Amino acid sequence: MSDLSAAPTALRPRLSDAQAWKALVMHHAAVGRVDLRRAFAAEPGRAARCTTSGAGWTLDWSKQLLHTDTMPLLLDLARDRRVPERISSMFAGERLNWTEGRAVFHVALRAPAGSTMLVDGRDVVPDVRETLRRMGLFSEAVRRGAWTGATGKRIRHVVNIGIGGSDLGPAMAYQALEPWRSRDLDCRFVSNVDGNDLSTALAGIDPAQTLFIISSKTFTTQETMENAASAREWIIASLGEGAVGRHFVAVSTNTARVRAFGIDPERMFGFWDWVGGRYSMDSAIGLSTMIAVGPSAFGGMLAGFHAMDEHVRTSPLESNLAVLMGMIGVWNSSVLQLPALAVLPYEQLLARFPAYLQQLMMESNGKRIDDHGQRVGWHTCPIVFGEPGTNGQHAFYQMLHQGTTVVPMDFIAFRTAAHQLGRHRMLLNANAIAQAQAFAFGRTADEVRAEGTPESLVPHRTFPGNRPSSFLWSEELTPGSLGALIALYEHSTFVQGIVWGINSFDQWGVELGKALAIDVIRDMSDPHLKPAHDASTSALIRSLRTKAT
């Protein structure tokens, strides 16, 4: 095992001390602000030079605020930060998550049968394929009606109970792959410990025709297990305790707790400690997705993941989509110090994709301590948000166009639609293209005046432009193109973490509030206890106590 598995403190300097970083900062200081109008006028071939394709996706990054010489310097920085070596180490199953001593090997989840992928000398592909085989058999049994509820009725409703990576990925994919879903099944997703979430999901469905998937690696996740316990009570109230085993399956590794819950371990689907939660939707966590769309479509999604994996693993940096996207993100966040990223899918089926990316990117790289244990001196992860077009145009685009904060954007589009309906796809894509154009080039005061606008309104109708964006597009949204798109963002997030010198695969930042909640729950549950916290916390506990315990 190479030295890249350990804390890389001695392997390379901090980012601020790297010569390639210093060269990039000096370049920015020397060339100053990019004017996209002038850049396109001076370089007629800019769009072609800044367009790259791979794994069924095309990236046009010509509207980013980069001079001609900027991307070569960014790629020099990627080499200096050992991005190619770290990518190779991930595919070799090395323990890149050094703070937790774990391999980072979600790429093995989509490796084709017959591949060899080793962790600590063990080929994990047979285990992955066996889990997929078991998932496929169970999914088909549910879809055919061979797996029934306790009364013999066919399963019509599948309720996935999880949170974070056990919810966001499956829920996003379920919506995205609507054209491939079985019309005989309805999948619902419960994550919030707020009882309204579970109550809404259970409204109007028949317990005798409902299957619950409890997704928790340890089977101890507070929100998930509280919802699971309430769902269990709901089944027992209608069908009796003996029905639990027919109406619940588990995605977990904790056999004892799964059995104690009433689930036969034969109906438990596991995964491994080298799969991080936010990288797990193509593992057994995707069981609800597989039941909804079928093993064939799920396999197509895995093939798309793998196609992008291979593109990233084998492509030179200059044509590597994930490296290009990752380094553009480094430029925008760390050099230009732009605080956010708007992800704008012009595809209604990807409505949940920005929320999925919030966890992927912000949990991975929303960190302030580098591999040397020191506070970083550069901006890391941006705030990620977004809505599908054209909805966002009538919400927050006003701020993006004329606000005081410049926000980079990722437009995502497809040439054709899963549901061909009149001119809808053409209008949708025309709006995406026009918005990217407007953000880049704006409208000058003279152009506004030339339209006959009264002088008093000219400042209000002037658009500054120079709002940076990338444009990602594929032929159509399919299971394969969805998998490739997700993998692209996974890898670009990893690239940024490498450059910033942070561990993209732990998430210590979620722990403190969870730990403090234990004491707050105790104090909330017993009205006789006197809270012993700070004055504000104690007052809130007293004010929000309820009779329910």
The catalytic residues are 363, 394, 514
Buried b (16+ CB within 10 A) or exposed e, 276-288: bbbbbbbbbbbbb
C-alpha distances (whole Å) from 271 to each of 128, 254, 320, 452, 496 are 8, 11, 30, 65, 26
Given the DSSP bridges, would you call strands 186-190 and 157-161 parallel, antiparallel or unpaired?
parallel
Residue length, the chain? 549
Q: Please state the φ and ψ torsions of residue 345, each to the nearest 5 degrees.
A: -80, 120
Which residues neighbour 45 within 8 Å (Cβ) at sequence distance 6 or greater? Answer: none
Which residues neighbour 496 within 8 Å (Cβ) at sequence distance 6 or greater? Answer: 326, 329, 330, 333, 365, 380, 381, 504
Q: How far apart are CA 75 and CA 328, in angstroms?
A: 10
Task: List the one residue out of 392, 478, 384 whose CA is nearest residue 436.
Answer: 392
Which residues neighbour 362 within 8 Å (Cβ) at sequence distance 6 or greater? Answer: 381, 383, 384
Q: Please state the φ and ψ torsions of residue 463, each to the nearest 5 degrees.
A: -115, 125
Q: How far apart are CA 105 and CA 46, in angstroms?
A: 37
Centre a 10 Å sphere on the Cβ of residue 111 and count the other Cβ atoms it contains: 21
Point out which residues pair with 162 in neighbouring strands.
Answer: none
431 exposure class (CB count in 10 Å sphere: 0-12, 13-18, 19+): middle
Give the distance from CA 428 to its chain's centroid.
24
Task: Please name the amino acid found at residue 3.
Answer: D
E strand or H helix that includes residue 471: strand 469-474
Three-class DSSP category at 159: strand
Which residue has 């299971």 as its token pair? Answer: 479
Helix axis angle for 479-500 and 83-91, nearest 10°, is 130
Residue 191 contacts residue 152 (beta carbons within 8 Å)? no
Task: Please name the amino acid found at residue 193.
Answer: V
Q: How far apart are CA 403 and CA 367, in angstroms?
A: 27
Residue 513 contacts residue 489 (beta carbons within 8 Å)? no
